Structure 1
Amino acid sequence: MPLPVEHVMPELFEALVQSHAVLASPPGSGKTTRVPLALLQQPWLSGKKILMLEPRRPAVRMAAAYMAGQLGEKPGETVGYRMRMERRVGPHTRIEVLTEGLFIRKLQEDPELTGVGLVIFDEFHEQSLDSELGLSLCLDVCDALREELRLLVMSATLDEQAVADLIGGKAIVSDGGLHPVTLHHLSRSAGREVLPATHRLIHRALREQEGDVLVFLPGKGEINRLEARLKEELVPADLFQLHGEMDAASQALVLTPQPAHRRRVILATDVAETSLTIEGISSVVDSGLARKPVFDPNSGLSRLTTQPIPQASASQRAGRAGRLGPGTCYRAWTETEHGSRPFQRPAEIRQADLAPLVLQLALWGVIGPGSLHWLNPPPAPAWRQGVALLEKLEALDGEGRITPH
């Protein structure tokens, strides 16, 4: 079945012949799994490899497995993947999916990206620190070493024109084609009782809708507790988990369609928000929460906090119910609460510990961030704090260079 992104493929092919490109398309439109395969035989690629970066480990493995399956192969043949402690790459691999952090390491070891013709930044709207650093370093590579290297930034909710202006490429928009999703909000605020409210909404979805139910929860602990309770209640559905600590076989099982008479309730973290579509989902139950690292400049430490998701993330989660037909999303917060949430989560570079970024740029030979191109420039106070910490640890000298030890 053709996916919405396929309608803009000719425009994308033409844009990449000339320069870089930005592809804006909603979740479930085929960006992650159709675009790399379609680009593989483009003449300008000259047989070189495509690297596709993903923000999360589960997405790396699942995207590679899905694309390999489309070719009737296993990961490690035409399509492979690489992440820390796990690698499925062979001598004939042409598409390599990897985490953003591992890409930074690869770039530091081989700045010319030997044998690579295209780097795809998938899910760039998440604005992770590593994705912004990777893009800035790639632009530096294009300017100094590899004018012919192509960059493709793919996003669901970000301002595509701002990114296109940054990289000097064309912005291409695919307007979806997803089915409508009916939204249900709580009539009264759940307050601190969000998880009990989410539990009740799961039962409501099972009563009112058909098909599988995807439930978004902030973390593995909440998933385990809710799964145990649903098992005790003997809900009329098979229960599955989806989170970043699962092995490859368990993740693949979630993506495998079940017999039509078997309903599923899939309890997931935000790894299910992006990158791959789970077949059979007709309803989403959203707790509206996610667990994210927050840097405390006073202590100099980062800690995980549970926080409300922004409107853009809520829209992405709801869209998971509209991939195969009209769907329904039950939200564990009120419409008034929704209106008060920010549209987008702040870019990680604006609120993270920048010491790792300072160190990576020092390894690159850059003393200050001003010599690179950024979508979100590193804030000066956080940069200075990162430099001060690294100097205190004697990782940098007084001129911002890496020390011998």
Structure 2
Amino acid sequence: MTDLPIHAVLPDLLAALRAGSNAVLVAPPGAGKTTAVAPALLDEPWCDGQVLMLSPRRLAARAAAERIAELMGEQPGGTVGYATRMDSRASAKTRLLVLTEGIFVRRIQDDPELSGVSAVLFDEVHERSLDSDFGLALVLDAQAGLRPDLRIVPMSATLDGARFAALLDAAPVIESEGRIQPLELRHIGRAAEKRVEDEMAAAIRRALAEEAEGDLLAFLPGVAEIERTAERIEGVAEVHKLHGSLDPAAQRAAIRPSREGARKVILATSIAETSLTIDGVRIVVDSGLARRPRYDRPAGVTRLVTERASQAAATQRAGRAARQRPGVAYRLWEAAATAGMPPFDPPEILESDLSSLLLDCALWGVSDPTTLRWLDPPPAAAVEEARRRLMRLDALDADGRITAHGKVLATLPLSPRLAHMLVRAGEMGLADIAAEVAVLLGERGIGGQDIDLTLRRQRWRRESGKRADAARAMAKRWAGLVPPPASGRGLG
């Protein structure tokens, strides 16, 4: 394995985990934490079980497992495996399992002792997703009450080490230096009256003309903008798209090194900000925009909103160009405008619908989530709103305890409202249809982008490919989790 900056501090990390149960690792992009830390734990005297490494995104989880397995001379599913919502490779031999945060929350709910697990690593924990914060709260609770021997390591390039260390009982903070490569920032601005895809296409053409070598990674807010930009740069280079609704084969093609003599342009959402190293990229073009879920409390729904990216996200994006060699980042805003961007992306727990969180807390046996240990506790108003909603769904009783119906909802990997729809549909003998609707509502791109679910469902039935097949299998699995209709309740 190539010597990486993280190797210089691995002895300190291993020593900290021999002396105590927790440590915090701060390592800049390119240091090698994602691929090097977890394998180093497998031979430690205290590590006689699995190491779980949590990743914020399916693509990052799969890519990390594949890269670690490759470095070990294996295929995923052997010593190293992964588990995501629609794609898993693991076996009885798997000792290092990379999994998404949501999958981990389900696992610890099913097995609070985490039997057979020696360590839990939280990669890219600075992203502060709701599942990451909740998973950390649960594993700390399990460590305190059931598993004092369990090792816990939050890892990130930019995390606030002191705050995480305090949360983990004054755990030692191990800091790694990164591999510093020169990075040039070029603020080229953009015309506000023009469509972002027109400006991005022009910037990509300019960057390819000004930079004689290297692949290019462009950040756009969403799938629609990626598709329209791809149309506008057709023929200028080998163009790949990279977003969460692509099937795994297309995602692998996007991050694979370009062919010899060819230049590649990757049009990506924020999915490519962290975790991934894309070989050959030394040019970044950043729209400065991001699409994020925002909970509309008066309407009671979560909407996708296009916003300015944060300063932290812009730094992460630019850094993609200098992971392996000197790079350049073109930014579609003026340099002075950077100060007006929000410093960080806000933690999801502060502005999300907390219905799922509250239901999962009740399943854990906690009616008041503030009794768990959080970096940022859930807002009281959001907790109360979620409690009222769950009571209307018959998931909680008047004292905030989980009901029998709530336990059924909590076993489904869905939001409480979708789970409630599925269970009630199952009582009428319509679980198969409801499960397919739940998949269409939760998985972008399945059956197309049409707002008409009937049309999407019809297209999906004709679709081939691994992602469509995996989605069908998932719908069948969800339908199978629903209790069968009581005698006489079905609709012939």
Instruction: With the length of structure 2 as denominator, give the TM-score of the two structures.
Output: 0.79
Relative to structure 1, is the Cα distance of residues 393 and 281 closer, same or farther in structure 2, using a 3 angstrom cutoff? same
| Partner residue in 2 for 1:113 | 114
Matched, 1:348 2:348: yes
Match of 2:376 in 1: 376
Counterpart position of 1:307: 307
| Map of 1:173 onto structure 2 | 175
SS where residue 44 of structure 1 aligns? coil
> How many angstroms apart in 2 are the aligned matches of 1:203 and 1:192?
17
1:160 matched residue in structure 2: 161
CA distance in 2, matches of 1:188, 1:63: 35
Partner of 1:195: 197
Going from structure 1 to structure 2, the CA distance change for 1:187 and 1:308 (only over 3 Å counts) comes to closer
Q: Secondary structure at the match of 1:314?
A: helix
* Runs of 4+, deviation exceeding 6 Å: none
Q: CA deviation at 1:198?
A: 1.8
| Deviates most, 19-28 or 126-135 | 19-28
**1:212 counterpart (203, 211, 215):** 215
- The aligned residue for residue 286 of structure 2 is 286
| Aligned match of 1:223 | 226
Distance change (3 Å), C-alpha of 1:188 and 1:253: closer
Q: Which residue of 2 aligns with 1:20?
A: 22
Match for residue 33 of structure 2 among 31, 36, 41? 31
Larger relative strand fraction: 1
- Offset of residue 2 of structure 1: 1.8
1:332 alignment counterpart: 332
**Is the contact between residue 32 and residue 276 of structure 1 (CA under 8 Å) also seen in structure 2?**
no
Q: Distance in 1 between matches of 2:154 and 2:181?
A: 25
Shift of 1:252: 2.1
Matched with 2:257 is 257
Whole-angstrom CA distance in 2 between matches of 1:363 and 1:192: 50
Shift of 1:190: 3.7
CA deviation vs aligned residue, 1:52-96 (integer Å, no higher than 9, x gap): 111111111111111111111111000001122322111110010
Distance, in Å, in 2 between the alignment partners of 1:202 and 1:192 is 16
Question: Equivalent residue of 2:404, what SS?
Answer: coil
Amino acid at match of 1:359: L
RMSD between aligned alpha carbons?
Answer: 1.3
CA contact (8 A) 1:139 1:373 kept: yes
* Amino acid aligned to 1:44: W
How far apart, in 2, do the equivalents of 1:55 and 1:248 lie?
16
For the residue of structure 1 that corresponds to 2:218, the secondary structure is strand
- The equivalent of 2:187 in structure 1 is 185
Q: 1:375 & 1:325 partners in 2: Cα distance? A: 35
Measured against aligned partners, the alpha-carbon deviations of 1:264-284 in whole angstroms (never above 9, x if no partner) come to: 111111111111200000100
Give the match for residue 90 of structure 1.
91
Alpha carbons of structure 1 residues 256 and 187: separation in structure 2 relative to 1, 3 Å: closer
In the alignment, the residues of structure 2 paired with residue 350 and residue 294 of structure 1 have an alpha-carbon distance, to the nearest angstrom, of 10
Worse overlay, 185-194 or 133-142: 185-194
Name the CA distance, whole Å, in 1 between partners of 2:75 and 2:190.
49
Cα deviation, 1:235-265, whole Å, max 9, x if unaligned, reads 1x21111111222222222232223311111
Count the aligned residue pairs. Answer: 401
Larger radius of gyration: 2
CA–CA distance in structure 1, aligned partners of residues 252 and 197 of structure 2: 27
TM-score normalised to structure 1 length: 0.96
